[in-house]
Amino acid sequence: MMVIVAAVLTIVCVLTMMYLTLMERKLVGRIQDRIGPNRVGPYGLLQPIADAIKMLTKEDITPRAAHRIIYNLAPVVIIPTAFLTFAFVPFGRGMVAADLNVAFLFILGFSSASTISILMAGWSSHNKYSLLGAMRGVAQMVSYEIPLILSALSVILIASSLSLNDIVLAQGGYWFILGQPLAFIIFLISGTAELNRSPFDLPEAESEILAGYHTEYSGLKFGVFYIAEYVATFAMSATATTLFLGGWQGPLLPSWFWFFAKTLIMIFIFMWMRGTLPRLRVDQLMSLAWKFMVPLALANLLMTAILLPLVHENPYLELIALIGGTLVVAAGAIFVATRYARRPGTSSALVPGEGVVAGQ
Amino acid sequence: MNVQLLTNALAGLQPTHLVFLVIAAVTIIGAIGVVSARSVFASALFLILSFVGVSGIYILLGAGFLAAVQIIIYVGAISVLILFAVMLTRNMGTETRSQFNRQAGISLGLCLLLAVFLSLAAGGIEWPISTDQLPANQVIALGQQLLSAQFVVPFEVASIFLLTALIGALFIARE
């Protein structure tokens, strides 16, 4: 039985990743007022296969000064960290491979473990741009884990469980995005930064730092990093769907259909942000994480923790109380942000980029 | 050590024991690699392997929460700290030399002797086995214990320690 589940998951995974790459290119193309790939097959549908063949047939170069074993191990290490989240996410009613009651912690652990692979790749390439890209990337990922966890924690408080299945079942009354919109926005932004996607993709920006930590990788090894990024995007979208959009809950149609539809909407939002927003500088994004996201996520958590014991019995009262609390926290955040921003001469705490560089 | 003891042991072998052997082997290989690897970066990576092995042992003991937290904290945060420290140290990339010297043979013999004596000593003790049941939901039980009168003060003091460390790090970094 488990073998069939594993086989289905693998096939679903591989197909989804292939067509996510195509979706990204066509979507970003349309945002940029051009059609995406449309030559290979009808509407470009065979493009991912062409990409795969291209990557497999490229020359596999290893730099002479690279630490050979670590260089070859880095793509190997990133694969489990990206793919293992699929074991914990509930794809439908009763369709979860491992229904642990600490499932969410494992997902978090695997996304933290991907930083090791990036450091390995950057270090072993023996290339200063790779090392710099890797260190920036890891600093960014580690910083944005905190708002990610804190925003998810607010949802876990309401659901009273770390098990993803329980969290989905707890959204039978209302989806958590309605009760925790601020947490959703923080999760979205932190998730984008965790995935090193635009607008937070300075560590791997093509025009800025060559290609960051995977500069020296070619052929199949680069393909593995590329695939792992898309798998992680799908995993992050699936987690966001489970935590905020009600997982597989939905009327009439089968539960897995709702799950994939909602996950696709989340992926669409990630790709939409990539095509639309300009890239942040590394000090801007670190400043955003520590000076804005963390206090905001903490305030949201505080608000939820204070309100929840008072209103937990009644779902309608809970929803209204949480929305009211969110408005208060958002108003406070806007007040603080506008008060401390853009005034020359003040020691600006919140303006990204000012006063962050050492020496003030 | 007679044949009967060995066959008894093999007869009682269960899949869990095999899994334990594999995970224990991974942990020990990681530990040996830390002290004998040629480059410091490789030592750090072996340490990460060791941490993952320990997480596996926690899973075998039924402590799922602890296993997940081990991965998050040790592999995700402390290892990253160690790797950054290695990468930011000058000349770490070119330092590759053997960690063994001429006394390697004698010390190996002495260590094996010590291991045999410790095993005999530890094997001869009657270790008391707890008859407490594992709580049905570990996370809830853990939360209740952490905020109970017994552990709440150390818990809060630990948070203040972490805050102090964070502020201290920021202060040093600003210099």
* pLDDT tens digits, A292-346: 999 999 999 999 999 999 888 888 888 999 999 999 999 999 988 888 765 554 4
* Residues A156 and A167 sit within 8 Å (Cβ to Cβ): yes
Between A116, A126, A135, which is nearest B75 by CB?
Answer: A116
Chain B contact set for A140 (CB, 8 A): none
Around Cβ A284, how many Cβ atoms within 10 Å?
Answer: 18
Tell me which of A68, A99, A105, A149 to substitute to probe the interface with B (most B C-beta atoms closer than 10 Å). Answer: A105
Flag if B71 and A112 touch (Cβ within 8 Å).
yes
Mean pLDDT, range B41-51, rounded to an integer: 94
For residue B79, list chain A residues with Cβ-Cβ distance below 8 A: 116
Q: Which residues of B touch A161 (CB under 8 A)?
A: 139
Residue A61, token pair as written in the block: 């170069």
Å between B102 CA and nearest CA of chain A: 27
Question: Would you call A70 and B42 a contact, using CB atoms and an 8 Å cutoff?
Answer: yes
State which amino acid sits at residue A44.
G
Average pLDDT, chain A: 85
B-chain CB neighbours of A76 within 8 Å are none
pLDDT above 60 for A236: yes
Percent pLDDT > 70 in chain A is: 92
Tell me how far apart the alpha carbons of residues A243 and A157 are, in angstroms, rounded to a whole number. 11
Look at residue A260 and tell me whether its pLDDT is greater than 60: yes
Respond yes or no on whether ipTM tops 0.90. no
pLDDT score for A311: 86
Spatial contact of A133 and A204, defined as CB atoms under 8 Å apart? yes
The model's confidence at residue A206, banded by pLDDT at 50, 70 and 90, is low
Is the Cβ pair B72, A358 closer than 8 Å? no
What does the pLDDT look like over B75-97, one tens digit per residue? 999 999 999 998 888 776 666 77
pLDDT computed for residue A208 by the predictor: 56
Residues of A in contact with B42 (CB under 8 A): 67, 69-70
Contacts of A123 (CB under 8 A, 6+ apart): A67, A70, A130, A131, A134, B41, B83, B87, B93
What is d(CA B1, CA A209) in angstroms, rounded to the nearest whole number? Answer: 63
Check A101 against B42: CB less than 8 A apart: no
Half-sphere exposure at residue A282, Cβ-oriented, CA atoms within 13 angstroms:
18
A137-175, pLDDT tens digit by residue?
898 999 999 999 999 999 999 998 899 999 999 998 889
- Is the pLDDT assigned to residue A199 strictly greater than 90? no
Sequence-distant (≥ 6) Cβ neighbours of residue B143 within 8 angstroms: none
- Residue A298 forms contact with B (CB below 8 Å): no
User: Do residue A135 and residue B84 have CB atoms under 8 angstroms apart?
Assistant: yes
A positions 73-132 inside 8 Å of B (CB): 100-102, 105-106, 108-110, 112-113, 115-116, 119-120, 123, 126, 131
A341: nearest Cα among A331, A353, A350, A329? A350
**Chain A / chain B CB contacts < 8 angstroms:** 71
Listed by number, the residues of chain A in 43-72 with a beta carbon closer than 8 Å to a beta carbon of chain B are 67, 69-70
Cis preceding linkage at A63, omega within 30: no
A144 contact B CB<8A: no
Q: How far is B76 from chain A (nearest CA, A)?
A: 5
pLDDT of residue B156: 93
Chain A nearest CA to B75, separation (Å)? 6
3-state class of A266 per DSSP?
helix
Is residue B164 over pLDDT 90?
yes
3-state helix, strand, coil in chain A (%, to 5): 70, 0, 30
Return the higher-pLDDT residue of B115 and A208: B115
Q: Is the pLDDT of residue A348 over 50?
A: no
In this predicted structure, the answer to whether residue A8 has a pLDDT above a threshold of 90 is no
Is the confidence at residue A110, as pLDDT, over 60? yes
Query: B63 or B29, which is more confident?
Result: B29
- How many angstroms separate the CA atoms of A334 and A332, rounded? 6
Residue B153 has pLDDT above 90, yes or no: yes
- Of A269, A236, A270, A234, the C-alpha closest to A9 is A234
Question: Residue B2's pLDDT band (boundaries 50, 70, 90)?
Answer: low
Classify residue A83 by burial, with Cβ atoms within 10 Å: 0-12, 13-18, 19+. buried
- Look at residue A342 in the predicted model and tell me its pLDDT: 59
How many Å is the maximal CA-CA distance in chain B? Answer: 69
| Mean pLDDT for the stretch of residues A53-82 | 87
Chain B nearest-CA residue for A160:
B140
Nearest to B45 among A70, A142, A358 (CB): A70
pLDDT category at A65 given cuts 50, 70, 90 is confident
For residue A22, the distance in angstroms to the closest alpha carbon of chain B comes to 31
> What does A165-210 look like in DSSP terms, one character per residue?
HHHHHGGGSS-HHHH-HHHHHHHHHHHHHHTT-TTS-GGG-TTTST
Average pLDDT over residues B114-137: 86
User: pTM of the predicted model, to two decimals?
Assistant: 0.88
- Nearest Cα to A225, choosing from A79, A22, A52? A79
